[in-house]
Amino acid sequence: MIINVARKELKSMFASPMGWVILSLLMFAFGTYYLNGVNDYFAVMSGAMRPAERTGVTQFVGQNVYGFASFMVLFAVPLLSMRLISEERRSQTLPFLFSAPISLTEIVLGKFLGLVAFLSILVVFIGGMLSTLNIWADIDFGFIVANSIGLLLMVASFSALGLYFSSMTQQPVVAAILTFIALFALMFLDRFFAGDPSNTLASLSLTRHFQSFSGGLIDTADIAYFGLFIATFLTLTVRRLDADRLRG
Amino acid sequence: MNNFTVEAIDLTRLYGGREAVSNVSFTLSKGQVLGFLGPNGAGKSTTMKMLTGNLAPSNGSVKICGIDMMENPKEAKALIGYLPEMRPLYKELTVDEYLTIAARLHRVSAGHIKKAVEIAKERCGLSHMSKRLIENLSNGYQQRVGIAQAIIHNPMVVILDEPTVGLDPIQIRDIRALIREVGSERSVIISTHILPEVEMVCDHVQIIDKGKLVFNGSIDVLKKQRIGNKLMIAMRNPPSVDEMLKVAGVVEAESLAGNLMRVRFADDAAPSEAIVQAAVINNWGLYQIAPDQTSLEDVFVQLTYQEQAEPEQVAA
């Protein structure tokens, strides 16, 4: 049943130009970054004489692309997640889902998975793009896998937050703005505490937990953080929808 | 176990302390079509939302084929097809895509989805619209898609909130036939403002006013109230009321403007013939005689008015 809701969301996303446009624009941007990264690699490495200055091509280009991607999804996810529930609320299509034999949890999970599935297309494409480096170099696939997992967890967290804000309003634009502000704050929280890195609030920052992935390290603590983040906002969304049923 | 398809027990819904629906109880059996009548804001849609699990009742319970909506919402919802007042259509999809999703969400098994979609389209006259975007359909066709969505999984109970709004007369006739057809083997609940519609398709009527049931019974009871025992007579030389009262069976007579006279007769009398004879003998110049029907509207107003006349008169 969760799958059916997710399929419906995917269908809606591809039924409008919005999904295609965002996908293609993002891929264009990532592709440009990738090409620039490869060019820069030769420029930088030809100047770097000492072995300590030399880094692998995977890390050099990968960090370039994944760093940029984690920043770009900050803009892309709110645009995609804003419609998920608020649009249904506005056009009064929620009763269609509410009166079907599916639970609220299934509806929320389905919508969440639908969006994550859409965004994972991006993650897969980026991974594929970087893997083409393997044609002329011997690349570090572990690094790409770790980064892909990190990016996927990050967009999933973004989606969960976006879904929650989408459930709170009837206006998709309001949902997008709220999501963007919240994500922006969470991304750059650690910058505010740059002087005191051990601060508890700083460790709530999404960027900090992405950092270990971007270095090629899969840390269970970070996976747990993203997992909890997602679970929290999905639960809040379910509760928000349940309030609809109870309060009307 | 009884075989009620719908059982509503003391349904109550409060909105901020105000009772939108209070203590509504009724049952519905297989093969019945229930008409839900009431003025605007009477609580029809609220009741329907509660029946379909879209709204939690403040008090009371709903059972669909014996399954409690609160305890086993999924099983109960699987037996219901619901078309809310605002059609829940995804306008960016085509008719086929939308109905396929509806079938899938309502647990139609994968192998039967195609067939279920075809049947639903055929029943609602949508076969030639398969590939059209719902957004581009006319109001009436969108309504049909809404109805198709509600019957696609062949549910035990079909609940339609104002199904004939926005349809042209031919479509209305088709939809009414469809409702009767579905109602012959399943249970149907429809809400409407159009009174003749109730008379045509429903065999049970409920009139709800200010959240309370004011009438709950078979359509025949309502019809009887409606036809009554009155005659409307038009004559060129109308007699006086006293003269008319002399005719056997006439209990009451009333002179109206324009040479008309309204006559009430005893319950088992049929005085038409006697009146015609008297008219010929006395040269009243009778040119029209017909049963005086109180319209269903009048009955409706009477029933809802009685409620209003009670103590708490609200200033309009």
Question: pLDDT: is A196 or B213 the higher one?
Answer: B213
CA distance linking residue B121 with residue B94, whole number of Å: 12
Contacts of B168 (CB under 8 A, 6+ apart): B140
Q: Look at chain B and report how many structural domains it folds into.
A: 3
Q: Do β-strands B204-209 and B59-64 pair in parallel, antiparallel, or remain unpaired?
A: unpaired
pLDDT tier at A157, thresholds 50, 70, 90: very high
pLDDT of residue B266: 72
pLDDT of residue A1: 82
Query: Is B306 among the domain residues?
Result: no
Mean pLDDT within A61-87: 90
B172 & B213 share domain: yes
Lowest-confidence pick of A100-109, B1-10, B139-148:
B1-10
B108 & B182 share domain: no
DSSP letters for B215-233 = EEEEHHHHHHHHHTTEEEE
pLDDT digits (tens, 9 = 90+) for B221-277: 776 666 667 778 888 888 887 877 777 777 777 787 777 887 777 766 677 788 888
CA distance linking residue B120 with residue A209, whole number of Å: 51
B162 & B247 share domain: no
Looking at the DSSP bridge assignments, the partners of residue B59 are B12
Question: pLDDT: is B90 or B228 the higher one?
Answer: B90
Count CA atoms closer than 13 A to B13's CA, side-chain side: 30
Mean pLDDT within B154-180: 86
CA distance linking residue B24 with residue B251, whole number of Å: 39
pLDDT digits (tens, 9 = 90+) for B22-49: 888 888 888 889 988 887 778 888 899 9
CATH of the domain at B271: 3.30.70.100
pLDDT of residue A117: 94
pLDDT tier at A113, thresholds 50, 70, 90: very high
DSSP letters for chain A = -HHHHHHHHHHHHHHSHHHHHHHHHHHHHHHHHHHHHHHHHHHHHHH--SGGG---HHHHHHHHHHHHHHHHHHHHHHHHHTHHHHHHHHTT-HHHHHTSS--HHHHHHHHHHHHHHHHHHHHHHHHHHHHGGGGTS---HHHHHHHHHHHHHHHHHHHHHHHHHHHH-S-HHHHHHHHHHHHHHHHSHHHHTTT-TT-TTGGG-HHHHHHHHHTT---HHHHHHHHHHHHHHHHHHHHHHHHHHHH-
How many beta-carbon pairs below 8 A join chains A and B?
79
Among B210, B226, B242, the domain-final residue is B226
The sign of the torsion formed by the CA atoms of B145, B146, B148, B153 equals: positive
Exposed (0-12), middle (13-18) or buried (19+): which is A54, by Cβ within 10 Å? Answer: exposed
Output DSSP code: residue B208.
E
pLDDT digits (tens, 9 = 90+) for A4-30: 999 999 988 888 888 899 899 999 999
Residues of B at the A interface (Cβ-Cβ below 8 Å)? 13, 15, 46, 49, 52-56, 73-75, 77-78, 80, 82, 84, 86, 88-93, 97, 101-102, 104-107, 149
pLDDT of residue B311: 43
CATH of the domain at B22: 3.40.50.300
- Quick check: B1 pLDDT over 60? no
pLDDT tier at B101, thresholds 50, 70, 90: very high
- Contact present, A172 and A163 (Cβ < 8 Å): no
Nearest to B223 by CA among B245, B194, B202: B202
B179 & B70 share domain: yes
Question: pLDDT: is A168 or A44 the higher one?
Answer: A168
pLDDT of residue A120: 94
B52 & B147 share domain: no
ipTM, two decimals, is 0.85
Residues of A at the B interface (Cβ-Cβ below 8 Å)? 1, 4-5, 7-8, 11-12, 15-16, 91-103, 245-246, 248
pLDDT tier at B310, thresholds 50, 70, 90: very low
Range of the domain at B27: 1-79+156-226
And the tokens for B38?
């009431």
Read off the pTM: 0.84
CA distance linking residue B121 with residue B125, whole number of Å: 6
CA distance linking residue B248 with residue A70, whole number of Å: 96
CA distance linking residue A248 with residue B57, whole number of Å: 10
Query: Is B300 among the domain residues?
Result: no
Smallest CA–CA distance, residue B76 to chain A, in Å, is: 8
Q: Do β-strands B212-218 and B230-235 pair in parallel, antiparallel, or remain unpaired?
A: unpaired
B55 & B120 share domain: no
Q: Look at chain A and report how many structural domains it folds into.
A: 1
The answer to whether the Cβ–Cβ distance between B52 and A92 falls below 8 Å is: no
Question: Which of B53, B92, B104 is facing A99, going by the closest CB pair?
Answer: B53
pLDDT of residue B173: 85
Q: From the CB of residue B184, how many other CB atoms can be counted at a distance below 10 Å? A: 12
B120 & B248 share domain: no
The answer to whether the Cβ–Cβ distance between A248 and B49 falls below 8 Å is: yes
- Quick check: B300 pLDDT over 80? no
3-state secondary structure of B133: strand
pLDDT of residue B297: 65
CA distance linking residue A128 with residue B74, whole number of Å: 42
- Contact present, A144 and A57 (Cβ < 8 Å): no
B108 & B222 share domain: no
B181 & B49 share domain: yes
CA distance linking residue A120 with residue A156, whole number of Å: 9
Query: Is B6 among the domain residues?
Result: yes
The answer to whether the Cβ–Cβ distance between B52 and A99 falls below 8 Å is: yes
B71 & B122 share domain: no
pLDDT tier at B314, thresholds 50, 70, 90: very low
Query: Is B72 among the domain residues?
Result: yes
pLDDT of residue A248: 64
Q: Which secondary structure element, helix H or strand E, spans residue B59, and what is its range?
A: strand B59-64
B160 & B222 share domain: yes
- Quick check: B70 pLDDT over 90? no
Range of the domain at A128: 2-247
Query: Is B311 among the domain residues?
Result: no
* Percent of chain B predicted with pLDDT > 90: 17
B94 & B68 share domain: no
- Rank A46-55, B52-61, B294-303 by mean pLDDT and report only the highest: B52-61
Contacts of A188 (CB under 8 A, 6+ apart): A205, A207
- Quick check: A188 pLDDT over 50? yes
Looking at the DSSP bridge assignments, the partners of residue B291 are B231
Mean pLDDT within B287-295: 74
